[in-house]
Amino acid sequence: MSANKRNYSLLGLLVLMWGSSFLLIEVSLDGFIPKEIVGFRLFIGAITMICVSLFYGKRFPKTLIPWLHFIIYAVIGNILPYLLIATGQKDITSGMAGLLMAIMPLVTLVLAHFFLPNDKLTRYKVLGFIIGISGVLFILSPSLSDGSNTLIGILLVLAAACAYGVNTIIASRLPSYDPIVSSACVLLIASTLSFCIWPGILFINFSDVPLLSIASLILLGILPTGLAALVYFIIINSAGATFLSNINYLIPVVAFFLGALLLGEDILLSNLLALLLIISGIFVSRFKS
């Protein structure tokens, strides 16, 4: 297989893993509460990435500073958005959650204008942001009126998208680390903190939990939380960040239609138009002035 085909294959795999996370969360919610989903997906993801680190012979940092940075990533880039998404999905569909998360790159470009000196807003970025935000506003009224989504659920997922945006800016300002090591360390810290914050989740009676919810949570930890990080960094090192940015167009589409196909969630015309607006906003924001 040529390098180009390999990169596209990995990109497709990454899109499927991240796009399916909202579906897996939705199924997991049938047997677990949000904080349990957060804690155990992080724990399973940490085990996965520690095994990957050992396989590649990686060593964890021996100084304090990297671990302090990893704590920041663990809280802002993992625990907080994971909890917001899982809590939000109690009141909105998985497809809607995936659609709303598409706003993340648009939030990031606005934050970058203020916090990254070489990444200022252009007229195309401003126009793209306006188009993308209009997509979110476009779905609020019909989504709330049909009873399948609530305002609080929508706002929680949008807050998660903002948390991811903030984490991206922080990562751009802090030093870079070996991607496999940083992924393993961040997940290890995040899972440890989760069990410290919510010690009660360690005493789940799994015999009372539906088998499908357990299987979904295990897959959520292994695939979108653990292995997806490895595939992400392989693509970055092989094809670069610009190539990887194509996932911003694909993940919301996969999440939206997986929810419709596998969970029977409604496909509303307003949602399709909103999806088109948000993705168009991302596309326009990438034009060079």
Read out DSSP for 90-156?
Answer: TTS-HHHHHHHHTTHHHHHHHHHHHH-TT----HHHHHHHHHHHHHHHHHHHHHHHTSS--HHHHHH
Residue 269: pLDDT band with limits 50, 70, 90: confident
For residue 136, the model assigns a pLDDT of: 83
Dihedral sign, Cα of residue 254, residue 260, residue 266, residue 267: positive
Q: What is the pTM of this model?
A: 0.90
Q: Between 230 and 223, where is the model more confident?
A: 223
DSSP 31: T
- For residue 227, CA distances in Å to 55, 91, 110, 193 come to 13, 28, 29, 21
Q: Which of 59-63, 73-77, 188-192, 240-244 has the lowest mean pLDDT?
A: 240-244
Read out DSSP for 253-272?
Answer: HHHHHHHHHHH-----HHHH
The residue written with tokens 């470009």 in the block is 109
For residue 37, the model assigns a pLDDT of: 98
Tell me the pLDDT tens digit for each residue of 131-173: 988 888 877 766 666 666 888 999 999 999 999 999 988 988 8
Mean pLDDT of the chain: 89
Say how many C-beta atoms besides its own lie within 10 A of residue 198's C-beta: 16
Phi, psi (5° rounding) for residue 105? -65, -25
Assign 223 to helix, strand or coil. helix
- For residues 187 and 169, what is the distance between their CA atoms, to the nearest angstrom? 19
For residue 24, the model assigns a pLDDT of: 97
